[in-house]
Amino acid sequence: MTIVDLRSDTVTRPTPEMRRAMYEAEVGDDVLGDDPTVRRLEELAAERLGKEAALFVASGTMGNLVALLTHCGRGDEAIVGDRSHTFLFEQGGMAALGGIVPRPLPNQPDGTIRPEEIVAAIRADNVHFPRTRLVCLENTHNMCNGRPLTAEYTAQVARLAHGHGLRVHLDGARIFNAAAALGVDVRELTREVDSVMFCLSKGLCAPVGSLLCGTAAFIAEARRARKVVGGGMRQVGVLAAAGLVAVEKMSGRLAEDHRRAHRLADGLAAIPGVEVEPVWTNILYFRLAEGVALTEAEMVARLAERGVLLLSVGPGRFRAVTHYWVDDAGIEQAIAAFREVLTAA
């Protein structure tokens, strides 16, 4: 039986081309600046994201933390979306490790934070207050149906933040998905922000790694922050080699994953008992209707018996994510499995 693993795009294994590139990678001690493959990846990432420099980090969480530690000092405040990955799923690292105060503001269903709410949250100069230093955005917005934020919105927030002396960090874990969905060059989405992190290890299929991009001065400081959180890695060109293939070969094919997510949504919507939420990129959320007599765990288990894996993400709610290793046949297998499980329920 073919396994159709829709739990996340992080389950993507490296492609044969990546494994070859890893095997053949030229390496050196990257903490000493000697790894030519890491240097090539950092240059390519900076160029593709339209920034001066980039830094290879172990994960998206590390990239966001290093960015926060570089932009903010202890006691500074960072404005974050209340449904953002940084606020919800990174153990509050900015506070726990950096002494940075998170200031959560409501994420709208489209993943944005209202510009007027950002302005209202910026602290006046007063001895009672932390200093507001940073605004964080997320694109695509994982918890808001994988929705892409537009270039116009990003630029609007960046301009108002800069007008108040704040910096902007973009959690662009899936920024190439956003660019594909909006039909724009990724630079359009990053031009106005001060820093951006993107993941190699999700839809881009690399086994490990993320990149943090920004000005040369920012990246020089970020390199220090990466070292103190234990992210100085040595012959890490073996990983960067896969990252080069990810950026060069995989960033241009994500529209295919989006097309399959839409096909899956259409297929599920046609099954009584399934309520599909809007799909924007490769992330699909759906609910079971009130009358369906299946617990979340039963639903997940019965689909798994049919080779289809997905995640339960709350009462009656589920998430399925398309990626490189799920083809058209896999999508049809998933739809058929749903139909069987729900018809029997």
> Which residues would be at the binding site for ligand PLP (CB under 6 A)?
59-61, 64, 85, 138, 142, 171, 173, 199, 201, 210
Give least dist CB 18 to ligand PLP, A: 17
Name which of 46 and 199 has its Cβ closer to ligand PLP: 199
Q: Which C-beta is closer to ligand PLP: that of 86 or that of 132?
A: 86
Q: How far apart are CB 128 and ligand PLP at their closest, in Å?
A: 32
Return the number of the residue (37 or 142) whose C-beta is nearest ligand PLP. Answer: 142
Q: Closest distance between ligand PLP and the C-beta of residue 140, in Å? A: 8
- Number of helical H runs and strand E runs in the chain: 14, 13
Cβ neighbors of 153 (< 8 A, separation 6 or more) are 112
Q: Is the CB of 228 or the CB of 270 nearer to ligand PLP?
A: 228
Taking the complex as a whole, the smallest distance from the CB of residue 266 to ligand PLP amounts, in Å, to 25
- Strand-strand pairing, 53-57 and 4-5: unpaired
Residue nearer to ligand PLP on the CB measure, 34 or 110: 110
Q: Smaller CB distance to ligand PLP: residue 195 or 210?
A: 210
Alpha helices, H only, the chain? 16-24, 36-49, 60-71, 85-88, 93-98, 115-121, 151-163, 175-182, 186-190, 216-228, 237-245, 254-269, 296-305, 328-344
Supply the angle between the helices 296-305 and 328-344 in degrees, to the nearest 10.
130
- Cβ-based nearer residue to ligand PLP, 142 or 251: 142
Please report, as a single letter, which amino acid is at residue 38. V
Least Å distance, CB 37 to ligand PLP, is 20
| Nearer to ligand PLP (CB atom), residue 171 or residue 188 | 171
Pick the closer one to ligand PLP by CB: 201 or 333.
Answer: 201
DSSP per-residue codes, 24-77: H-----GGGT--HHHHHHHHHHHHHHT-SEEEEES-HHHHHHHHHHHH--TTEE
Which residue type sits at 81? G
User: Closest approach of Cβ 313 to ligand PLP, in Å?
Assistant: 13
Give 316's DSSP letter.
Answer: T
What residues are paired with 137 via a beta bridge? 170
Whole-angstrom Cα Rg for the chain: 21
- Give which of 208, 241, 201 is closest to 323, Cα–Cα: 201
Q: How far is the CB of 10 from ligand PLP (least distance, A)?
A: 6
Nearest-approach distance from CB 55 to ligand PLP, in angstroms: 14
Closest residue by beta carbon to ligand PLP: 60
CA 152 to chain centre: 20
Which is nearest to 78 in space by CA: 66, 63, 61, 95?
Answer: 95
Angle between helices 328-344 and 254-269 in degrees, nearest 10: 20
User: What minimum distance in Å lies between the beta carbon of 46 and ligand PLP?
Assistant: 19
